[in-house]
Amino acid sequence: MNFDKTKVIERIKQAKSYGLKYSKLASAVNVPCASLYAFINGNYTMAQDKQIALLCYIESYMEEMNRQLKKLGYKELCSKWKV
């Protein structure tokens, strides 16, 4: 199984829009920050197991953020996010 690098990068950027910091993502999956930035910029090829770890962490983070935003969404406190 191979991942489409552009889609992985797109998902990373989407998580950033949810507030995830690249440094936190890098440390969570034990990747140097510089390697993560190089991967996002297209200058580095990341191992598949690291990409899987990145995507799993991102999915968990975004699910948690969506859960929290749903709590706020009905109170009309949150205008930026569509829940």
Q: pLDDT tens, 26-58?
A: 999 999 999 999 999 989 999 999 999 999 999
Contacts of 18 (CB under 8 A, 6+ apart): 61, 62, 65
Q: What percent of the chain has pLDDT over 90?
A: 69
Q: What percent of the chain has pLDDT over 70?
A: 87
Q: What is the mean predicted confidence (pLDDT) over 59-65?
A: 95
Q: Is the pTM of this model over 0.75?
A: yes
The confidence band for 11, taking pLDDT boundaries of 50, 70 and 90, is very high
Number of Cβ atoms within 10 Å of the Cβ of 20: 19
